[in-house]
Structure 1
Amino acid sequence: MPALNLSRLDQMHVDVAIIGAGINGASAAQHLSAAGYRVLVVDQGDFANGATSRSSRLLHCGLRHLATGTNFWHSLLRPDRLAKSIKTVRDDMLARDEIVRTIPDRVKPINFCVPIYNDDQYTPWQMDAAFAALRMTSPRGVPLDYRRYSPKNQNEVPISPWLRDPDKLRSVAVFREYIFDWPERIALDAVFDARRMGAIVRNYTRVVDLRQRDQGAAGWHLTLQSTHGDTQGNSGSASVTADLVLNLAGAWVDDLIHKTGSNAAPKCTGMKGIHIALRLPEEFNDWGVFTYNSLGEPLYCLPFRGVHYIGLTRTPFTGDIAGVSASDQEIDWMIAETNRCLPKLAISRDDILYSWAGVNPLTSDPEEPLGSREIKLHDLAPDGLPGLLTLTGGPIMTHRRVARRLVKEITGRLSPTAAPQRPDYQGAQMISDQGGTANIPAVEIERCVRDEMPISLADLLMRRLGLGWEPDQGGSQARSIAEVAAPLLGWSEARIEEELRAYQLHLAKACRRPNSV
């Protein structure tokens, strides 16, 4: 289904305009459409091309909120923060339960290993207590399969010989965790399900002006502009109105607020994180590691589609979010931290298959300079912007809970204008869902081109087909996919070559390998 020509939206009115079509924007569009609202959702780039596609891809059980790397007893001195952490943990556990049960084909279970050393902030009994607390937040939920191995039986953990300082290793905790495969697909399924229920959805469409309606009328006036002209009608501009606006633009939320002319205090703290991907020995198959880097912050080593990826960094970021990538210096730091935690790997720049970087839109908090993980819905009415709601801190695993919260908030302000419908979480059942390097059938490529609004070969390979995350990043199939897509997208032979070059340039920047030493 091609995009509706932007000029045809001119002077249109909707109940709710959603700005940002990452996983939270997509899920909000799906749930609000199901609740009977007339919805418009736009994104300045492709769907799910921001933080959604650049996260750690973990369906967190919430352990990281209990095991922060700081002293255990310090947390007891701040009961307010402890209570906030427990609430976040419960949200994560309930989200984990729902996603695993409703879309099991979109996640993959792994064995997650947590080494516990003599000099760690946490003791084995505290780890046991943490998992007991996790289980209490969702007693009948998806099993955690928690077990802990002493030095006498650590040989039952195949990756234990690779861990650092075996003489200081007190215990190894193991539990079942899940990896999203892949979050972009979940967001695409949600946004196109919203379209099925009547939502207007557009990628490559920027909000260039956002103003309250004139003469005291309630609601908002949005000026939209295409960011990518093509043969599908993605060109021009349009003016639309909405009763309510949801600012779900991720790390761009403050930029959007400033488009109103407001000088509201920042709502978001953008934190840059990078990951590196490489191949590890076969003992690591289906096994991941959760440990701490030299700064006392979490380090993840996770299996995904025939590779492992390792992350992440946490550094404040104020640059060009759209062009964010991992620098050689950041990659070198991650290599050094990996070799510190898993010294026998002895990895170097030459081992890196690719990297990626993203900006996590955390909630601004004066007491937390690196941002708070609190999921916060900001009502901008106190800033003189009634009817504008902004979300910060919404990770991928809680997207449905966030969407339901938004529906509840909006229902209290605005009545739906249509009959309710039922959302469909299953989405497109694709042969490429299971990963691997099997060739993608032409009929599947054609369906993605026809129904899912790709503009470029990168849109197809990275988000609709997921091949950009394979070990070869889709290189073996890129040309054949471009040739199948070409007739439907109106590409000439010259345009096919241009798209192939553009895809390689995209990989060289966004998923770059470090320079050789």
Structure 2
Amino acid sequence: MRSELRELEGQSFDVAIIGAGINGCSAAQHLAAAGYKVLLVDQNDFASGATSRSGRILHCGLRFLAPKKTVWEFFSAPGQLWMKIRTAKEMAEAQGELYTTIRPYLRPMDIALPIYAGQGYSGWHVDIGAMLVRWMNRGRSPINYRRWKGVKSPHPFVRHLTRPEAIRSVVAFDDQQFIWPERIALDACFNARDLGAVVRNYTRVVGLEKSGASAWRLQLSDMTGSATVEAAYVLNLAGIEIDAANRLVPGLHNIPPRVRAMKGVHILVRLPKEYRGHGIAGENSLGEHIFCLPWGEYHYIGPTETIYDGDPNEVTPDDEDISFLKREAQALLPGLPIMDARVELAWAGARPITFDPEHAHGKRLPFSIFHDMTDEGARNLLAVTWGIIVNHRATARRIVDEIRKRLSPSGTGCRIDYAPRSRPNLNPTSSKAELDAAVAHFIDVECATSAVDILCRRTMLFWDNVVTAMLLSRVVAAMSDKFGWSERRQAAEIDDFRSYVSRQHRVDALIDEI
């Protein structure tokens, strides 16, 4: 259970991290393992932002070897080719590491990709790319690459593709899917706590100012009160609020932006059983990627790509987003009844892509750009933009190396435990004793404060589309026993959950009881 914030008053840390998404949690884990005294805070729940709203794909690296228009651009811009090869190598290595350490959080999926005439590259070009990925991956995560000429592929989606007469080849390969990115971040967060870090959700940084030549003073606030702490180094991993966090510092309110927030929406629909486990990738009418990927009994379609400048806490899927995705998916797969499909669930996230005045949608490569704010008069303040889930460990290791250049750890190093953490099982058929124990664990050990925290992040129940009205009531009743809620407060918690999933996920009714 979360302690009162005032208990931190006057404490000093080596590194304070703002933002507890996957990169903040991983950075806390790696820094604590390196011997640093770490504070990790987030104004919302752990892993509740872009980490929870991603496309959930652990790319093998093949897509990053594709040219924008033609392979000849690689010869005219060798720097771009090198960047793409480096990015593909990072993806392949990351997939291999995650596949061997957290395989229970991954799920293989078979993805087909049509290659149309006029796309600028041919099937044999993709063959070379697949060979490179296999070499980079070193066989740690099989990609099972195949290619067929024309539309001869047995892949179930292929016969429904648009313009079959223009298809030169179809390639298919196995990629991995993050079935639970929230839990990957939570495991890293709580391993960081095991290693000595202080981790707090629902804790805002409301003030950030220099303290002496290089140290920092942070003013923190939450529902229980406030506290002031100091840190020798501040790491800004606040996602799309990186600029807002930087501008808390006196004198930095007019600095150029570092982030371009891009909204990505996905929708979940049910397709016939024959498509389960299979996905398709293509391009929409804007020349952007569009995927239709398996999710248990369902498929999800996305993403959109729109600039977002609204409330960071209200990045939600709207009617226009949903209509766009249905329309584009139907155009890609005219043989499937997508326009009439019921949207079972939707989600929207805003990605902190690196700001670039020459690119309206931000700078897409490379990932994980470091912004040392020393030249802005803020020594020992580092922001990181466009850090993605796939590379979170590599980004964290780079962060440790960067901080070591200026700050030695105050403690001794120890070993990181990447293995999935044990946790209680909770499902709609759990007995009262099992449910009570699980809820107590999520509150006492994992800092959950709401039904949303438990059902949407600390378990997969909401994402598996199995939350019933009865289960929600039982979870809230168990929470009431822990927190001493009145009947009115319990009713408000149920209403809050329903409001959240309606607003954030377009779910207006929970599953009926069986």
TM-score when normalising by structure 1: 0.93
Q: Is 2:21–2:50's contact at 8 Å kept on the other side of the alignment?
A: yes
Q: Residues of 1 paired with 2:359 and 2:303: CA distance?
A: 19
Q: Residues of 2 paired with 1:71 and 1:88: CA distance?
A: 19
Secondary structure of 1:16's counterpart equals strand
Q: Residues of 1 paired with 2:494 and 2:428: CA distance?
A: 19
**Residue in 2 that maps onto 1:363:** 354
* 1:136 partnered with 2:132: no
**Residue in 2 that maps onto 1:424:** 417
- The structural deviation recorded for 1:175 is 0.6
How large is the RMSD of aligned CA atoms in angstroms? Answer: 2.1
Q: Residues of 2 paired with 1:11 and 1:112: CA distance?
A: 53
Q: What are the superposed Cα offsets for residues 283-335 of structure 1, whole Å, 9 maximum, x if unpaired?
A: 11111111111111111111123221110111111111210111111110110
- The structural deviation recorded for 1:475 is 4.5
* 1:312 partnered with 2:310: no
- The structural deviation recorded for 1:76 is 3.3
Secondary structure of 1:52's counterpart equals coil
Shift in CA distance, 297/331, structure 1 to aligned 2, threshold 3 Å: same
Q: Which residue identity is paired with 1:429?
A: S
**Residue in 2 that maps onto 1:232:** none
Secondary structure of 1:345's counterpart equals coil
Q: Which residue identity is paired with 2:124?
A: W
**Residue in 1 that maps onto 2:442:** 448
Q: Residues of 1 paired with 2:471 and 2:163: CA distance?
A: 43
Q: Is 1:468–1:474's contact at 8 Å kept on the other side of the alignment?
A: no
- The structural deviation recorded for 1:432 is 5.7
* 1:326 partnered with 2:317: yes
Q: Which residue identity is paired with 1:342?
A: L
Q: Which residue identity is paired with 1:225?
A: S
Secondary structure of 2:322's counterpart equals helix
Secondary structure of 1:283's counterpart equals helix
- The structural deviation recorded for 1:149 is 2.1
Q: Is 1:432–1:466's contact at 8 Å kept on the other side of the alignment?
A: no
In structure 2, which of residues 277, 289, 308 is the aligned counterpart of residue 286 of structure 1?
277
Q: Residues of 2 paired with 1:171 and 1:283: CA distance?
A: 22
Shift in CA distance, 432/351, structure 1 to aligned 2, threshold 3 Å: farther
TM-score when normalising by structure 2: 0.93
**Residue in 2 that maps onto 1:192:** 190
Q: Is 1:307–1:471's contact at 8 Å kept on the other side of the alignment?
A: no
- The structural deviation recorded for 1:65 is 2.0
Q: Residues of 1 paired with 2:272 and 2:449: CA distance?
A: 38
**Residue in 2 that maps onto 1:336:** 327
Shift in CA distance, 476/69, structure 1 to aligned 2, threshold 3 Å: farther
Secondary structure of 1:344's counterpart equals coil
1:64-463 correspondence runs (5 A): 64-67=63-66, 69-151=68-150, 153-154=152-153, 156-213=154-211, 216-226=212-222, 229=223, 235-261=224-250, 262=252, 263-348=254-339, 351-373=342-364, 374=366, 375-430=368-423, 439=430, 441-442=434-435, 443-463=437-457
Q: Which residue identity is paired with 1:218?
A: S
- The structural deviation recorded for 1:160 is 2.2
User: Any unmatched runs of 5+ in structure 1?
Assistant: 230-234
**Residue in 1 that maps onto 2:511:** none
User: Any unmatched runs of 5+ in structure 2?
Assistant: 509-514
Q: What are the superposed Cα offsets for residues 252-275 of structure 1, whole Å, 9 maximum, x if unpaired?
A: 101111110302221111111110
Q: Residues of 1 paired with 2:190 and 2:152: CA distance?
A: 49
- The structural deviation recorded for 1:22 is 0.1
Shift in CA distance, 137/18, structure 1 to aligned 2, threshold 3 Å: same
- The structural deviation recorded for 1:69 is 4.5
Shift in CA distance, 177/184, structure 1 to aligned 2, threshold 3 Å: same
**Residue in 2 that maps onto 1:492:** 486
1:38-57 correspondence runs (5 A): 38-57=37-56
Q: What are the superposed Cα offsets for residues 137-190 of structure 1, whole Å, 9 maximum, x if unpaired?
A: 333432211111234742x32332232233333222111101101000110111
- The structural deviation recorded for 1:340 is 0.6
